[in-house]
Amino acid sequence: MRGPRAPLFLARAVYRQRRLRDAARLLPLVGFFLLMLPLMWSDAAGAGHTAVYVFGVWALLIGLTAYVAPGLAQPEASSPAEDA
Amino acid sequence: MPFNVLVLTCLAYVAFLFLVAFVVERRASRGEMRFLRSPFVYTLSLSIYCTAWTFYGAVGSAARTGLEFLTIYLGPTLVFVGWWWVLRKLLRIGRRQRVTSIADLISSRYGKSNLLGVLVTVIAVVAATPYIALQLQSVTLSFSVFAQSSPETWAMPDRDATAIWVAAGLALFTILFGTRNLDAKEQHHGIVMAIAVEAVVKLVALLAVGIFVVWGLGGGPVAMISRIENYTDPNWAIQPGRWGGLIFLSAAAVITLPRMFQVLVVENVEEGHLARASWAFPTYLFLISLFILPIAMIGLERMPAGANPDMMVLTLPLHEGQGGLALLAFLGGFSSATSMVIVETIALATMVSNHILMPAWLWLRPQAAVSGDLRGVILLARRFSIIGVLALGLEYFRLSGGSAALAAIGQIAFAGMAQVLPALLGGIFWRGGTKLGASLGLSIGFATWGFTLFLPSFGAGGVISAEVLQHGLFDLPWLRPQALFGTEGMDPLIHSIFWSLALNIAGYAVGSLLSFPDPVERIQGAAFVNAFDDELQAERLGWTHGKAEPEALMNMAQRILGDEAAISFFEAEARAQGKAGFLPDLTPRFLAELERNLAGSVGAATAHAMISQLFGRATVTVEDLMAVATEAAQIMEYSARL
């Protein structure tokens, strides 16, 4: 019932899309890691610097998500199997 | 500023919101929905996450504990940044299964069990009660701020009276626009647009106060940062347990809160909007948090000691003689509180009427299910639920005395709703989760939360006596509400989250491992966990949820195969199933046979697409459509040659 398999030259695009999804899955973990870092800092670090750091991480996460999101919103380029 | 000007502005603003909701409802009913279908409206409607707790409470929280307030916005940011994990699946399932609330989702996943629906509804209502009280408290507080600052007019309005007026106004708005008619999808376009407008108002208001504080009073961003850097307060040190715990808690809350589920899943008009919201909503949170700390900082410096830090967004501009700015801030706070209460009560009313009132009504009057129009009864049930939910919030406000810090009240509500998380995540990622496990986990978690956090929140001697708080239930020291099993060193909030979720997950896991799911549960479990697997979905749709009637299939088959052939095919199949007449049951085997039969005339892909269409669009993939197009082209070519 299914149509013919995607031609070979598409493989690269499909591969990229899969890796993009992997990146999307990794992002919250990266964010969590970066946001836990201030806990390891000594008390000498004041609230001002910590705040600048946290907002910086926040902006970075937003930027990366905005970069990745349009590619993810595309319909799936090939069969729905999630393996690479 | 005169107090009556404030009341007038407030009324004008509310009238404007009524107008927006009304116009949008009108246009939506005429099918003009273009501007509603924008991803930005979706993102803005998500911002009901930011309630009066954010608008007023965050500054209070920042003044008391420094950076900790950020955790409440970092958790949702991580959830949205990681939308590919949970939100995408939740949205897909919600739309496929036509889920109307979080209680409906849990009940549907575990074999459409109404027991679970009731359980989740009760948890949601109890957890929302302090949260609604928080909104009423903030509006009353903000009214009294203006009343105090304008000695020339009325005396300070009665606290309870203000709260009652506000609650009554909100009930009216919600009933008018939330229960105008019954929509099968439970979507309320007018309200979504109104809260999108309110989202803009609260953001603009907070940014305006922030810009005034940083550039007008603080001497620019660099000076501001060094001021914060040099401020020393032992309470401002980050506590690792609370930092991590609150990020987790807010992440859990953004998925499970009834109102978030309502705007995120139920009111969603297009799945693709989530991709935009994945970064746009965190941006909204970023902007709204940006100036909280500077406002708190300057407030601490300039305001007299003892001023309520929860009201600094309002009192600081007033103190500096900026009446207009204070009025804008007041409207922002008013927006945050009202939009939250409206959507929360709609979400809760849907749950209460669908899972508690309607089943009870049908149980009392079983003949009503067969005869008569139920729509009127359902709408009435919704309206009573809305009033009931608001009345509960009002009562909590009066009982608790309206004195606690806003953030502390909100955290209690978050922790209560987080109890749904194990059953929810387990339900969409683990096929082994069962009804028994979910009921066990939810009830144990709910009871633990009630005992360790909710009931103690009424104060020692309130519901739980000081005696029990000190020495434990039944004088057992390991049953002390704030030191279960001897864990004395923990912060009370983290203690409660830790134990309630640990016991909740344990109950869910053990109950699921030891029980055996019934057939409906197993089908639903597979449909939820494999929501993105189109083949399985087709199979499931084929024999459980099919909307297609045998007659419709018969009609279609007649048009394609011709009358004689179609009838004899259907009749033969019906006889094989042991049925009289010519309409067989829609078994997967029969459907596959029919599809093959149709494929002989119109091609496999078209046949599949046609059958799929009768069972809802769910099963048609892009590939199928491509194949249809190719086949159609081939047929045309073929007939051209003839």
Residue B79 pLDDT greater than 70, yes or no? yes
More confident residue, B630 or A37: A37
Minimum Cα–Cα distance from A66: chain B residue? B279
Question: Of the spans B204-208, B393-397, B467-471, B586-590, which averages the highest pLDDT?
Answer: B204-208
H-only helix segments in B418-515 = 421-429, 435-449, 466-471, 492-514
The CB density around residue B536, as the number of other CB atoms within 10 Å, is 14
Residue B469 pLDDT greater than 80, yes or no? no
More confident residue, B288 or B7: B288
Q: What is the pLDDT of residues B500-510, one digit of tens each?
A: 999 999 999 99
Distances (CA, A) of B480 to A69, B265, B408, B468, B488: 48, 39, 21, 7, 9
Indicate yes or no: CB of B293 within 8 angstroms of CB of A47.
Answer: yes
Q: What is the pLDDT of residues B393-445, one digit of tens each?
A: 888 888 876 666 677 788 889 999 999 999 999 999 998 899 999 999 999 99
pLDDT value of position B632: 54
Residue pair B162/B171 in contact (Cβ under 8 Å)? The answer is: no
Question: Helix B159-178 to helix B189-211 angle, to the nearest 10 degrees?
Answer: 140
CB-count exposure of residue B152 (10 Å: 0-12, 13-18, 19+):
exposed
Of the candidates B66, B272, B286, the beta carbon closest to that of A59 is on B286
Residue pair B493/B244 in contact (Cβ under 8 Å)? The answer is: no
pLDDT value of position B307: 80
Kindly list the residues from chain A whose CB atom is less than 8 angstroms away from the CB atom of residue B231: 46-47
Residue with tokens 């609330």: B101
pLDDT value of position B435: 92
Cα–Cα dist B393/B491, whole Å:
26
Indicate yes or no: CB of A51 within 8 angstroms of CB of B228.
Answer: yes
DSSP state of B68: G
Kindly list the residues from chain B whose CB atom is less than 8 angstroms away from the CB atom of residue A54: 67, 70, 74
Indicate yes or no: CB of A28 within 8 angstroms of CB of B228.
Answer: no
Cα–Cα dist A28/B191, whole Å:
31
Minimum Cα–Cα distance from B85: chain A residue? A25
Mean pLDDT in residue range B570-598: 76
Residue with tokens 């504990």: B65
Residue with tokens 């504080």: B213
Mean pLDDT in residue range B545-562: 65
pLDDT value of position B565: 79
Q: What is the pLDDT of residues B147-196, one digit of tens each?
A: 776 554 444 456 677 788 888 888 888 887 777 766 666 678 888 888 99
| Residue B412 Cα, gap to closest chain A Cα (Å) | 23
| Residue B222 Cα, gap to closest chain A Cα (Å) | 10
Mean pLDDT in residue range B124-142: 88
Residue pair B224/B218 in contact (Cβ under 8 Å)? The answer is: yes
The CB density around residue B77, as the number of other CB atoms within 10 Å, is 29
Cα–Cα dist B261/B253, whole Å:
10
Cα–Cα dist B67/B61, whole Å:
8
Residue pair B354/B100 in contact (Cβ under 8 Å)? The answer is: yes
Beta bridge partners of B484: B479
Minimum Cα–Cα distance from B609: chain A residue? A1
> Can you tell me the ipTM of this complex?
0.84
Of the candidates A43, A49, A70, the beta carbon closest to that of B237 is on A43
Kindly list the residues from chain B whose CB atom is less than 8 angstroms away from the CB atom of residue A70: 275
Residue pair B292/B69 in contact (Cβ under 8 Å)? The answer is: yes
| Residue B85 Cα, gap to closest chain A Cα (Å) | 6
Mean pLDDT in residue range B469-479: 73
pLDDT value of position B545: 40
Of the candidates A39, A46, A75, the beta carbon closest to that of B243 is on A39
Q: What is the pLDDT of residues B43-78, one digit of tens each?
A: 999 999 998 888 988 998 998 888 899 999 999 999
pLDDT value of position B94: 87
Of the candidates B74, B533, B622, the beta carbon closest to that of A75 is on B622
Q: What is the pLDDT of residues A31-64, one digit of tens each?
A: 999 999 888 887 666 788 889 999 999 999 999 9
Element (H, E) at B191: helix B189-211
| Structural domain spans, chain A | 28-75
Q: What is the pLDDT of residues B302-357, one digit of tens each?
A: 888 778 888 888 889 888 888 889 889 999 998 898 888 888 998 998 889 888 88
Residue with tokens 């019906």: B574
Indicate yes or no: CB of B534 within 8 angstroms of CB of A25.
Answer: no
Measured in residues, chain B has a length of 642
pLDDT value of position B72: 93
Q: What is the pLDDT of residues B508-540, one digit of tens each?
A: 999 999 998 877 788 778 888 888 875 455 544
Mean pLDDT in residue range B16-21: 87
Cα–Cα dist B453/B467, whole Å:
16
Specify whether the backbone of B539 is left (phi greater than 0), alpha (psi in -120 to 50) or beta: alpha
Residue pair B386/B351 in contact (Cβ under 8 Å)? The answer is: no
Instruction: State whether residue B483 is helix, strand or coil.
Output: strand
Amino acid at B380: L
pLDDT value of position B4: 77
Residue pair B277/B259 in contact (Cβ under 8 Å)? The answer is: no
Residue B145 pLDDT greater than 70, yes or no? yes
Half-sphere exposure of B35 (CA within 13 A, CB side): 10
pLDDT value of position B615: 59
Cα–Cα dist B137/B131, whole Å:
10
Kindly list the residues from chain A whose CB atom is less than 8 angstroms away from the CB atom of residue B240: 39
Cα–Cα dist B50/B62, whole Å:
16
Residue pair B30/A14 in contact (Cβ under 8 Å)? The answer is: no
Cα–Cα dist A16/A22, whole Å:
10
Kindly list the residues from chain A whose CB atom is less than 8 angstroms away from the CB atom of residue B64: none
Indicate yes or no: CB of B229 within 8 angstroms of CB of A47.
Answer: yes
Amino acid at B373: D
Element (H, E) at B479: strand B479-480
Kindly list the residues from chain A whose CB atom is less than 8 angstroms away from the CB atom of residue B66: 47
CATH class of B3-428: mainly alpha
Residue pair B92/B527 in contact (Cβ under 8 Å)? The answer is: no
**This prediction's pTM:** 0.81
Residues of A with a Cβ under 8 Å from any B Cβ are 1-3, 21, 24-25, 27-29, 31-32, 35-36, 38-39, 43, 46-52, 54-55, 58-59, 61-66, 69-70, 72-73, 75-76, 80, 82
Mean pLDDT in residue range B272-295: 92
Residue pair B293/B221 in contact (Cβ under 8 Å)? The answer is: no
| Structural domain spans, chain B | 3-428, 434-516, 534-641
Residue B136 pLDDT greater than 70, yes or no? yes
